[in-house]
Structures are given as structure tokens and as C-alpha cells.
Chains A and B, each alone.
Chain A
Amino acid sequence: EPEVTQTPSHQVTQMGQEVILRCVPISNHLYFYWYRQILGQKVEFLVSFYNNEISEKSEIFDDQFSVERPDGSNFTLKIRSTKLEDSAMYFCASTGTSGNYNEQFFGPGTRLTVL
């Protein structure tokens, strides 16, 4: 069964460093998303991406964040200069066409720890 994969599973970084979180969405999906979940809190939307551009972003997704689909398979989230408060679980998700009623398939997540 197709699934969304994410690497690495755990990333530890120093404050101020750049990190890139990687995701491989399901191959025929068209819409891609990043969400984050700070420990003990709810899952929050960060950004959605369609047709090689951002379609919506939240207030959390400031200039420190960027997304890219560098090739036909990967979808990346870059944080330019990490802050302590960026420590969270980051989930990638993808969905196919609108006929799927936005059933989003989630990856296992990357736990980011900023020291």
C-alpha cells in the first residue's frame, strides 16, 4: 500500500542552524502539506503546496520557513535559522485529486529538537 515517508525520523540541531526535513509523498498525489505538533499540543497546519507553489500558509509559516519540491518525488521543509520553539513533530501529508474529499495521508513524522 502506498505511503508517505519522511526522513529523518529524529533531527537534533543547535539554535540558529538550518534544517531541511524531507518527505516523499504518495506518487500520484497532487497536493502536499506540512503540519507540526508541539509536544502535548494539537496538530497545526503550516503550509499547503500545489502545482509547484504555495496555495495557503498559516501565521506560523514566516520567512524562516520555505518549502520546495526539488524533483518529482521529494517535498522539503526548510527552516533557515531554528529557534527553541521550533522543537516539534513535523508531519508531511499528501492527497490526490479533489475527489478524495481531502483525505490526507500522513507520514510518520520527523521529531525536531532544537537545543
Chain B
Amino acid sequence: AQSVTQLGSHVSVSEGALVLLRCNYSSSVPPYLFWYVQYPNQGLQLLLKYTSAATLVKGINGFEAEFKKSETSFHLTKPSAHMSDAAEYFCAVSVRQGAQKLVFGQGTRLTINP
């Protein structure tokens, strides 16, 4: 079975500071990994995905994530936080192709301080 652990349910950074949201996964087979963002009262929007190509993945809004197999991690980073980045972020894992489910982490609420 697959699982995802997000370290830190709440992360607070200053505007302009580095954003680092941590995600560790468990999977018995090579995974596909995703980061989704959820703004208040909205659905889930895909930020980026790892699908066994490049280990450093760039997404929308300046976010990127690096797949590290040895650490079973897929941490999300952004060099400079913007106020509009305040949201809930979910890491998710899936395996095999076809109609496979996403398994989500608990989520990390990102707060940006002015």
C-alpha cells in the first residue's frame, strides 16, 4: 500500500522568504508523485508532478520539487514566497497506470506573513 506523510501541518514564512514543504512517501513500486494546492473554498489544483522522468520537477507559480528515491522524499520549494501562495498544499502518490487512485497526505497549511 502507498502512503504519504507531510511533515508540519502548518508552515509560516515571511513574504520573500524560501518556502519548503516536506513530503515523504512509501510505495512498494516506483511511484508517481504530485503536489496539489487548495485555495479557500476551492477545489484541488495540480502544481506539479513527478512521473519518472527528470527528478527535479518545475510547476506552476514558481514552485518546484525534487524526487529523491534514497530519501523517499518529494519536498516542495519556492525561492521567494508571495502573499498569494497562502493555501493548503497536498502531496499525493499513485502507482501503475490506468484508473489508479491518489493517496494524499494530511496537507500543510502555508501562511505568508507580510
B43 x A107 contact (CB < 8 A) = yes
User: With the chains together, A4 CA to B42 CA distance in Å?
Assistant: 12
| Contact status A101-B97, CB under 8 Å | yes
Cross-chain pair count, CB within 8 angstroms: 66
A109 at the B interface (CB under 8 A): yes
The CA of A33 and the CA of B103, in the complex, are separated in Å by 12
A75 at the interface (CB under 8 A from B): no
CA distance A104 to B90 in the complex (A): 13
Is there an interface contact between B101 and A42, defined as CB atoms closer than 8 Å? no
Docked-complex contact A33 and B43, CB < 8 angstroms: no
Q: Which of B44, B49, B94, B103 contacts A91 (CB 8 A)?
A: B44
The answer, yes or no, to whether B98 is at the interface (CB within 8 Å) is yes
Known contacts A43-B44, A107-B43, A108-B42; A102/B97 CB under 8 A: yes
Range of interface residues on chain B?
A: 20 to 34
Q: Is A56 an interface residue (CB 8 A)?
A: yes
Identify the closest chain A residue to B45 (Cβ).
A106
- CB neighbours of A44 from chain B (8 A): 104
Number of interface residues of A (CB under 8 A): 28
Residue of B nearest to A44 (CB): B104
A109 to B90, CA, bound (A): 16
User: Which of A4, A42, A49, A93 is the one whose CB lies under 8 Å from B90?
Assistant: A42
Additional A-B contact list (10), CB under 8 Å, known A42-B104, A43-B104, A98-B98? A33-B99, A35-B102, A50-B98, A55-B98, A101-B49, A101-B51, A104-B102, A106-B36, A106-B45, A107-B43
